[in-house]
Amino acid sequence: MLPDPIKKFIDLFSKLPGIGPRQATRLAFHISSAGKSNIEELAKIIYGLSDIKTCSLCFTSHNNAGYEIRNTRENTKKNLCPICSNPQRRKDIIAIIEKETDLISIERTKKFNGRYLVLGDLKKDGVLESVQKLRLNSLKNWIKKECAGQADEIVLAMNPTTYGDLNASLIANELKDSAKKITRLGRGIPTGGEIEFADEETLGAALDKRG
């Protein structure tokens, strides 16, 4: 009954976060009726995502190579994101976050001048995935090299939920020897809330009250 291009669109887009089959179907028909030029422009924009790179230090996505630095041990070059390559940002203060949308929200407050580590979505059972363990180990090794063994502060910017608190405790234990102090965001964000959806004033207050 449905044209094959519509079926394929629905199958693909219904797998995306927050989009089920019904929403994907609506999107498919909306886009198909937008006209050929608009569809081609959308296709170009989606294809442009293939140029996105992952920062080798904080693991956020970016399309700006930043400064290229030479890894003397492996004799390779690393592409850094604009934050990691910015010499004005403090390298001895690192915020651990789950999602890149959390980074965007924190940056909007203009109250944090450190750097980040994007872990990826944390599970509710308090068990870190292998990729997340590798990223934490990468951070620990970087701190040893660039911060004389200890960062000044590591901020655990986890969502103030039960599983967020559980994972924060787990990560704090993993990094206890890597920082002079490990802090959490203040409770400006209501319990059960998410950093991604906090307004700038509330999130800024949580940053100011971290401890």
pLDDT in tens, 153-203: 999 998 877 888 888 899 999 999 999 999 988 766 666 667 777 777 777
Short-list 168, 158, 144, 157, CA closest to 92? 144
Options 3.50.50.60, 3.20.20.140, 3.40.1360.10, 3.40.109.10; CATH for 55-208 is 3.40.1360.10
Pairing of strands 115-118, 93-97: parallel
pLDDT in tens, 85-103: 899 999 999 999 999 999 9
Short-list 112, 135, 157, CA closest to 54? 135
Token digits of residue 3:
């044209």
Q: For the chain, what's the residue count?
A: 211
pLDDT in tens, 23-57: 999 999 999 999 999 999 999 998 988 888 889 89
Distances 44 to 39, 40, 41, 51, 127 between C-alpha atoms, Å: 9, 6, 5, 12, 39
CATH code 3.40.1360.10 region(s) in the chain:
55-208
CATH code 1.10.8.420 region(s) in the chain:
4-51
pTM: 0.75
What's 4-51's CATH class?
mainly alpha
Q: What is the Cα 132 distance to its own chain's centre?
A: 12
Give the whole-angstrom CA distance, residue 51 versus residue 193: 33
pLDDT of residue 64: 63
